[in-house]
Structures are given as structure tokens and as C-alpha cells.
Homo-oligomer: A and B are copies of this chain.
């Protein structure tokens, strides 16, 4: 495997010219917690002005696309719901394209955003966020018990995971168990494996391809996680750019035990803008 090379003023032009659509992860790339990462607005503006397509691909399923569009707006970025591909949307689309009968019910262990996307797709969701004292895990033991029973007692019951991310970051300082924690709990009590619709699975790619009609070799996935973002880009045949503004450090990238190497890496998204300036 070729080691990843740093993005630089010397190689940025060839990457830029070969790419027609940039796919961005959000957390750790566009924002961190509730703060926009430095230089993002100018970079997105520049990309758009040069005719590049932009799309946001997030594994975080707590929000619907509409809720994400609002978050962008609050941070001063104008993004349409159509430019956002969230794993909550992907979960609803998975049911849609597999002709899940709309009269059946979908039990949700997760956030409001999933319920909203299910409803938009014409499905009935049950469950959803648990009481607030449980915090980020967003689920109670009652939810797990019920979900376990649904899967164990109903042959053919679908078990769909929006993602299996191990941890999330609410702030720079705190690491929290991610959706992979509760997915692991359900696996442990059902002894079944889920269908994953978020990154690194390429399920969402079909929708992206339909939307843009651009070959994946002309797309560049920009993300901060090796095992989701970069793997997703590689699995789909995209170019890949790791930014170090999120969870992955340079020493993790360059550790001999790491076997996921993006094509390029750089500090933050705004470096694209910086390096391209004459």
C-alpha cells in the first residue's frame, strides 16, 4: 500500500482538476461540536465558484437532513437538504428500495432524525430517543430489551444500523460511546449482525451517483476518520483526503499498524483554498 502524501501547493492543482465532486464528512471536517472549523466558508465558496459539486455525507443519525440544513444555517453556511446525505436518510432509503411494506412498523433505537426521515419516506417509526438523563447514548435498557425481542422472536426481522462508529466527540476534550456501542449491545443479545447503511458501507453511493451522474473516480471523499470516511471513499473508488482537524492524528495515520491510507492528508479543509491561491 502506498503511504499517504501530504497535500501541498505542488500537488493540490492536479487533485483539484481531476475532481468534479467533493464529498465532505461534517463533524471534525466542517465543524467541531458547535463551532465551524476555520476557513470552511471561503473554501466551500471557492469550490462552488469553480463549478465543483459539493455534498455532505454524515454518519451521525441523530438529525434528519432538514435538521442538518438548519445546523449549517446556524453556522452561517447555506446548504440545501438535497446536498446532505445522512445515515438517517440512508436507513429510510434502505427500507424504500427494498420494498418494506409501509403497513409494518419500524422500531427505532436512536434519535429524532431517524423518526423524521422514516416519516418522510412513508414509514411508521416507534421508539426513538429515550429520556434525557441517559444522555448521548440516547437509549434505555427498555429500548434494548424490546429491540432484542423484535429481532429474536420475528424471523426475517431486519436489523439495520445507521453506523458502527466506536466513539463520538461532543467537544475537543470528551470521547463518548458512538452508535457502535448500542449496535454492539444488540448484536451481543441477538447474535445477529446488522445491515450497515452508513459509512464505510457504500449503500449511500447509489444515491450520490444518481444525483450527480459523475464517475466515482472524479469524486473526492474528505473526512477525518480512517475506518469510516476514508474506507468509504476507497470502497467506492473515490479519491480520498484525510483532514487532521478531527479524530485522527498524524501519528495514528503513520503508525505501522494502520492499513488505511488516504491518497492525501492535510491539516484542515481550508488548506485546499490556501494552497490554490496564486
Interface residues of chain A, those whose CB is within 8 Å of chain B, are 134-137, 139-141, 144-145, 148-149, 152-153, 164, 166-167, 175-178, 180-191
Interchain nearest-CB distance for A169 vs B (Å): 12
| B184 and A186 within 8 A (CB) | yes
Residue of B nearest to A187 (CB): B184
A-B contacts, 20 of them at CB < 8 A, read A137-B141, A145-B176, A145-B177, A148-B167, A148-B175, A149-B175, A152-B175, A164-B188, A166-B190, A166-B191, A167-B189, A177-B189, A180-B191, A181-B189, A182-B185, A184-B185, A184-B187, A185-B185, A185-B188, A187-B188
Residue of B nearest to A164 (CB): B188
Interchain nearest-CB distance for A275 vs B (Å): 34
| A166 and B189 within 8 A (CB) | yes
Residue of B nearest to A148 (CB): B177
Give the distance in Å from the alpha carbon of A134 to the alpha carbon of B142 in the complex. 8
Give the distance in Å from the alpha carbon of A113 to the alpha carbon of B213 in the complex. 60
